[in-house]
Amino acid sequence: MATSGTQISLAATHYTRTAVTLHWLIAACVLAALFMGWTMTDMAISPARLKTYNYHKWVGVTVLTLAVMRLAWRLTHRPPPLLPMPRWQKLAAHGGHALLYALIVVVPLTGWIYSNATGFRVVYLGKIPLPNLVGRDKALADTWHEVHEVLAISLAVLVGLHVLAALQHHFVHKDNTLRRMFQWRH
């Protein structure tokens, strides 16, 4: 009984280890992909540029895979409720998280489509060829480039707000919001 009671209270305050691990893996990959995406377009034509594009795509496919795993986990494992905060903050938090979930799936997908439209198949790690989602089409490529870029910038802005909100919880409200992303229930 005591064990069960502890389980319940931990589930009410803690994320699972899987959720925490996926959060940080995705965070690292998203930051890497955003950084490469931001810098590679201004690089001069060179093997380094071509390789950066390839790595960007591999990291993007990794984000997409982890995001799908994370969504599946999220749907089967309830996260702990938000800590007490004003209603508008709860709404903003839920809305922001929903958008983040959507973008970590959609941004890699639009990049994949954009790559295919330019005639480049995505070959994960240079070894695993992924199916082409669209055929080569210059006009389509330009459109998907725009979509990918705008959504990626939106993702970057949301990540920034997400980090600022976490820091505000930690340093201003001095609550457990940030800390519990470094702990998990067993």
User: Site residues (CB under 8 A) for other proteins?
Assistant: 45-47, 50-51, 54, 118-123, 126-127, 129, 136, 138, 141
Minimum separation from the CB atom of position 179 to other proteins (A): 42
Closest approach of Cβ 45 to other proteins, in Å? 5
The nearer residue to other proteins, 89 or 118, going by C-beta atoms, is 118
As to burial, measured by CB atoms within 10 angstroms (0-12 exposed, 13-18 middle, 19+ buried), residue 112 is buried
Q: Helix or strand or coil: residue 92?
A: helix
Q: How far is it, in rounded angstroms, from Cα 146 to Cα 56?
A: 17
For 53, counting Cβ atoms within 10 Å of its Cβ (0-12 exposed, 13-18 middle, 19+ buried), the class is: middle
CB 67 within 8 A of CB 103: no
Q: Which is nearer to other proteins, 49 or 173 (CB)?
A: 49
Q: Give 85 or 140: the residue with its C-beta nearer to other proteins.
A: 140
**56 vs 169, beta carbon nearer other proteins:** 56
CB of 50 to other proteins, least distance (A): 6
Which of helix, strand or coil describes residue 13?
A: helix
User: Contact 176/170 with Cβ under 8 angstroms?
Assistant: no
Residues 6+ apart with CB under 8 A from 176: 13, 83
The least distance separating other proteins from the CB of residue 51, rounded to whole angstroms, comes to 7
124 vs 184 by CB, closer to other proteins: 124
Interatomic CA distance for residues 159 and 165, integer angstroms: 10
Place of tokens 């986990």: 73
8 vs 139, beta carbon nearer other proteins: 139
